[in-house]
């Protein structure tokens, strides 16, 4: 099931929302859990931001290799400099590992993201996810997105009628049999489609989804784990939405319509200031805060690594991944660090002069040899 009617697409709206979060808190470090083929990571390289450390984690090495190729292409297309969008970037790493089995060496990033990941997990893994992210990784901000199953009937051709607070077939009139009335049978059928969706997995948006949450279920889960790990949580979404909103944040749990196509939870560590929302959808106001000194500094695994070498426009990935001790669950597949800056003209001149002196000294020693 694809929401082709969204412009921009749902995937792009989710990525833009994540970028708003990064910009709103002036984040220096980000960990994308379940990064897949690197769509978010690559997007973060295309617009200026404050990120210095970026990490992608995924269980699929195939996806990580696709991500490495795309990121390599983006990073080598534009030379680093003050005008480069990723001028502040100091390191970008891709790790092979499970989001439910966090590497303890990866700790306290400014932002962690889980974009369309949780619905792919089995129930036991969902329980482990909260412990892995909020209990072990301990990000200052955690953004998680997941489909809103209450919006699925609209993707299947129905439309929401705010006048009657019910679903209608597209093109159907809400006036019913007579002006100002609703056909009771149609109202009953539409309500059943919205509130009693069948559990058949084929009704989910993708066949590989293990489940999809209603807004009430998502908020219940998020509120429980936030309290358990001493976090705050706010809710929002992108795609559709009541009142024609394209996306934003809404803490009101009395929504009458189907809500957003993608529902989003933003967790903030209790040590991070989480201001009261002043206006719905005003994300920067919601997340504006000073992160310095409130949680530990970001740390990540440090190993010797041979970044895949370039051969023309192709990359060599035949080498083994980084060897990590058995007690650590993550293996580093790819790493990028900025090349050293070119020497200034004065430095280059001094270097040439020094080489000339060495060469002259060698010639003098050679001429005085017996």
Give residue 361's pLDDT band: very low, low, confident or very high (50, 70, 90).
low
Mean pLDDT, residues 227-231 taken together: 95
Half-sphere exposure of 108 (CA within 13 A, CB side): 11
DSSP 149: G
Interior/surface letters 236-258, b for 16+ CB within 10 angstroms, e for the rest: bbbbbbbeebebbbbeeeebebb
Mean pLDDT, residues 284-312 taken together: 47
pLDDT at 49: 92
CA distance 62 to 182: 53
Residue with tokens 């808190």: 25
> For the chain, give me the number of helices (H) and strands (E)?
9, 13
CA distance 227 to 330: 28
Mean pLDDT, residues 167-181 taken together: 48
Q: Please, are residues 146 and 140 in contact by the beta-carbon 8 Å criterion?
A: no
3-class state of residue 309 by DSSP: coil
pLDDT in tens, 106-130: 999 999 999 999 998 999 999 999 9
CA distance 63 to 65: 5
Which of 81, 106, 76 is closest to 94 using CA atoms?
A: 106
CA distance 321 to 324: 9
Which residue intervals of the chain are DSSP H helices? 10-24, 39-44, 61-77, 123-130, 152-155, 184-195, 215-228, 283-287, 345-367
Which residue intervals of 229-296 are DSSP H helices? 283-287
CA distance 299 to 110: 11
**Residues 187-192: contacts with CB under 8 Å, at least 24 apart:** 190/158, 190/166, 191/166, 191/167
Q: Please, are residues 246 and 274 in contact by the beta-carbon 8 Å criterion?
A: no
Can you state the percent helix, strand and coil of the chain, rounding each to 5?
35, 20, 45
Which of 15, 3, 24 is closest to 234 using CA atoms?
A: 24
Q: Is the pLDDT of residue 363 over 60?
A: no
Mean pLDDT, residues 218-232 taken together: 96
β-strand 141-147 against 260-269: which pairing, if any?
antiparallel
State both tokens at 25: 């808190």
Q: Please, are residues 214 and 173 in contact by the beta-carbon 8 Å criterion?
A: no
pLDDT at 32: 98
Q: What's the sign of the alpha-carbon dihedral 21, 25, 26, 30?
A: negative
CA distance 33 to 57: 5
State both tokens at 166: 């019910």
Residue with tokens 């978010």: 40
pLDDT in tens, 59-112: 999 999 999 999 999 998 876 665 678 888 999 999 999 999 999 889 999 999
Half-sphere exposure of 113 (CA within 13 A, CB side): 26
pLDDT in tens, 157-173: 666 655 545 555 555 55
């Amino acid at each position: 099931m694809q929401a082709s009617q969204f412009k921009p697409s749902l995937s792009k709206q989710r990525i833009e929302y994540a970028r708003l979060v990064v910009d709103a808190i002036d984040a220096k470090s980000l960990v994308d859990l379940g990064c897949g083929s690197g769509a978010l990571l690559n997007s973060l390289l295309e617009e200026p931001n404050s990120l210095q450390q970026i990490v992608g984690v995924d269980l699929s090495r195939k996806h990580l290799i696709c991500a490495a190729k795309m990121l390599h292409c983006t990073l080598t297309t534009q030379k680093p400099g003050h005008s480069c969008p990723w001028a502040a970037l100091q390191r970008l790493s891709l790790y092979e590992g499970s989001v439910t089995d966090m590497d303890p060496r990866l700790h306290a990033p400014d932002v962690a993201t889980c974009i369309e990941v949780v619905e792919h997990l089995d129930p036991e893994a969902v329980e482990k996810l909260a412990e892995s992210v909020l209990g072990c990784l301990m990000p200052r901000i955690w953004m998680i997105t997941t489909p809103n199953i209450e919006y699925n009937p609209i993707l299947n051709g129905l439309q929401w009628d705010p006048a009657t607070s019910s679903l209608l077939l597209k093109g159907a009139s809400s006036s019913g049999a007579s002006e100002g009335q609703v056909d009771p049978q149609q109202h009953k059928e539409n309500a059943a489609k919205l509130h009693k969706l069948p559990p058949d997995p084929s009704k989910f948006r993708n066949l590989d989804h293990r489940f999809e949450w209603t807004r009430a279920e998502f908020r219940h889960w998020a509120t429980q784990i936030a309290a358990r790990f001493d976090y705050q949580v706010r809710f929002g979404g992108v795609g559709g939405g009541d009142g024609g909103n394209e996306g934003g944040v809404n803490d009101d749990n009395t929504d009458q319509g189907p809500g957003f196509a993608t529902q989003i939870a933003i967790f903030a560590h209790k040590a991070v200031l989480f201001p009261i929302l002043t206006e719905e959808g005003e994300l920067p106001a919601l997340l504006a805060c000073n992160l310095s000194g409130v949680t530990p500094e970001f740390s990540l695994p440090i190993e010797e690594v041979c970044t895949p070498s370039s051969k023309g426009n192709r990359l060599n990935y035949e080498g083994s991944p980084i060897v990590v001790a058995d007690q650590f669950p993550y293996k580093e597949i790819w790493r990028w660090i900025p090349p050293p800056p070119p020497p200034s003209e004065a430095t280059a001149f001094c270097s040439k002069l020094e080489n000339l002196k060495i060469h002259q000294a060698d010639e003098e020693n050679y001429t005085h040899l017996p």
